[in-house]
Every structure is written in structure tokens, then in C-alpha cells.
Amino acid sequence: MDLADIVRRVGRFKKEAHSILGKYETSSSRVIDLTRTHQQLNGLSIKQDDLFRQALRCVEQELYRAAHVMAWAAFMDFLEEKIASKGFSALHKHYSKWPVFTSLENLRESVPEFQLIDTLGKLGICSKTPIKALHGLLNKRNECAHPSDFYPELNETLGYISELFKRIAQLQPR
């Protein structure tokens, strides 16, 4: 048995161990499963990918509030780019009293996240029910980003990040 064979066997063992341990509710191996889900998302920018990876690293370090905040930042970057891809003229058509945006940075600095989520309906990106769900996810992020008595645990955090991944997968083709 040579070194390359040993390395392959250790790799297979590690993969199988994570697969088995990932089924247990409090196992940190579940982060590995979420990482695989993340890798299945196509079309994320380098920035979004990095922010999600930071969120997963926060989970690994048991920094669950920080993980919520980082994952939301990645999601919002995706959402803002999605809105911008529809064109700022489409946005101004429905929100004529808003300032004229010339860049994504202008949009980010001028419109609160809650309102940006509201634009999704008028731009034809999603319907009312998903918009309400996104408002709920924003509220959960706010609980983590601001002083509160909310201290999410592993399962809540993995569920939150998984929900954001699913929302991205739903919004990508639109």
C-alpha cells in the first residue's frame, strides 16, 4: 500500500463519516451537506460565493448570528444584481419618486432592503407569498445583526442558510 492509496482511503472514509454523522441533528457534519448544496447553485458571483463560504465558516465556528448576517449579505447581493439586471428603467417605471439610479451602488445606498424586496413583485421576479417569506428572512437577519435576545442554534442557522439557497435557486431563472 503506497501513500497515494492511503490518502484515497482516508478521503473516502472522511466522506462516508460525514455522510453518516450528517444525519444527526447536532452534528457539525451537516455543514458539509450544506456546502454541497451551495456548490450546486449556478450563477453566483465571486462575491456572493465568498460571502456564503464565510457564512458556512461562521457555522463551523458556532458563530450562528454572524452566519445569518453573512448569508443574508450574500443573498442581498444576488437580489440586488437580479433587480439591476431587469434594468433601472423598469425600476423607475414603477417607482418614479425614487432617485434615478446609475449604478448598483446607488441602489444599495438609497433603498432599504425591505423596499428592495417589495420591488420583486412589480418587476415580475416573484409573487406576493415569496415576498412575505423574504421579509421574514430579513427580520430574522435583523434579529441577529442587532442587539436582541435571539440566539440561533445550529439547526436554525443551517435551515436559514438552506432557505436562502432555495430562494436563490427559485429566483435565478426569472
- Could you give the CA distance from residue 108 to residue 144 in angstroms, rounded to a whole number? 20
3-state helix, strand, coil in the chain (%, to 5): 75, 0, 25
The CA R_g of the chain, rounded to the nearest whole Å, is 19
CATH number reported for the structural domain that contains residue 104 in this entry: 1.20.120
Give the residue numbers spanning the domain of 73.
Answer: 44-171
Q: In b/e form, how buried is each residue of 54-83, taking b as 16+ CB within 10 angstroms? A: bbbebbeeeebbbbbbbbbbbbbbbbbbbb
Give the total number of structural domains in the chain. 1
* Helix (H) or strand (E) segment spanning residue 14: helix 3-21
Please list the pLDDT of the chain residue by residue as tens digits (174 residues): 787 777 777 677 666 665 555 555 555 555 556 667 667 677 899 999 999 999 999 998 999 999 999 999 999 999 999 999 888 888 889 898 898 888 999 999 999 999 999 999 999 999 999 999 999 999 999 999 999 999 999 889 989 999 999 999 999 988
56 domain residue, yes or no: yes
